């Protein structure tokens, strides 16, 4: 069906978050959807929790990473549009409907993105800081963002398959950045939707916030140096 939406969620040891994530998806205002959860060899009771929901559960035979899991989910999908999110995110009530609507009237191939709400799930100061900072960074250029993040990414399913999907060889946590840049080079437009939001659960302390910043900075600098666009890259 034209407006069937395939929601794809990679999961690895997400027992503490995946139930809330799925509950938010199934309470969405857009009810013409299929939900595909790809479990990346979790060692907790994630699979038992996922099995309580009316979704397709794909279990990988070996731990392969989020990029591979998303690609596997896309191969199993039937929807016209794919919507990627994460197991520690809650989609807002109208997010999926807004993602489908955003494709109406689009001329040419696009990747449409969303971002975090200002308020995260957990209300700790450092979690709020991360949510506000990422929201600002990802929405300061709505019509020509540097990248679209996989916590809220929508793309035509056939276009996704033709491009080969996410690179499992990309640097950790940057598969969506590499994918976005590769899509732009192939003629896709990157666009941020104004009403496509997910609420993220960080659970950060000061130490965890600093560790996350260091890890992202390290990988993003390596990526930008390799592309020779450090001064232009939003991550660096």
User: What is the C-alpha separation between 219 and 212, in angstroms, rounded?
Assistant: 11
Q: Which residue has the higher pLDDT, 22 or 31?
A: 22
pTM assigned to the model: 0.94
pLDDT band at 232 (very low <50, low <70, confident <90, very high): low
Residue 167 banded pLDDT, cuts 50, 70, 90:
very high
Tell whether the model's pLDDT for residue 172 goes beyond 80.
no
List the one residue out of 194, 179, 212 whose CA is nearest residue 88.
212
Contact by Cβ (8 Å): 87, 18: yes
User: 126 and 168 in contact (C-beta within 8 Å)?
Assistant: no
Contacts of 144 (CB under 8 A, 6+ apart): 190
What is the rounded distance in angstroms from the CA atom of residue 31 to the CA atom of residue 119?
A: 25
Q: What is the mean pLDDT of residues 218-235?
A: 74
How does pLDDT run across 4-14, given as a tens digit for each residue?
A: 999 999 999 99
Per-residue model confidence as pLDDT tens digits over 84-123: 999 999 999 999 999 999 988 788 899 999 999 999 999 8
In which residue are the tokens 């991550």 written?
235
Model confidence at 231: pLDDT above 80: no
Strand partners, 35: 7
User: What's the mean pLDDT when you consider all of the chain?
Assistant: 92
Task: Count the residues in the chain.
Answer: 236
- The whole-number pLDDT of residue 104 equals 84
């Amino acid at each position: 069906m034209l407006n069937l939406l395939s929601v794809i969620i990679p999961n690895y040891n997400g027992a503490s978050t995946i139930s809330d994530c799925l509950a938010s998806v199934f309470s969405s205002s857009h009810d013409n959807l299929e939900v595909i959860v790809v479990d990346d060899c979790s060692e907790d009771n994630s699979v038992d929790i996922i099995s309580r929901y009316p979704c397709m559960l794909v279990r990988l035979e070996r731990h392969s990473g989020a990029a591979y899991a998303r690609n596997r989910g896309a191969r199993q999908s039937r929807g016209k549009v794919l919507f990627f999110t994460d197991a520690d995110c809650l989609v807002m009530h109208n997010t999926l409907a807004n993602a489908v609507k955003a494709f109406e009237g689009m001329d040419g191939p696009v990747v449409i993105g969303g971002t975090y709400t200002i308020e995260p799930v957990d209300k700790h100061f450092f979690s709020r800081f991360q949510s506000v900072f990422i929201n600002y960074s990802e929405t300061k250029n709505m019509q020509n963002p540097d990248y679209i993040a996989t916590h809220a990414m929508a793309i035509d399913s056939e276009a996704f398959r033709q491009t080969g999907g996410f690179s499992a060889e990309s640097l950790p946590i940057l598969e969506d950045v590499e994918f976005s840049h590769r899509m732009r080079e192939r003629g896709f437009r990157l666009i941020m939707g104004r009403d496509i939001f997910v609420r993220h659960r960080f659970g950060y302390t000061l130490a965890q916030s600093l560790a996350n910043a260091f890890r992202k900075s390290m990988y993003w600098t390596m990526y930008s140096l390799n592309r020779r666009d450090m001064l232009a890259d939003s991550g660096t």
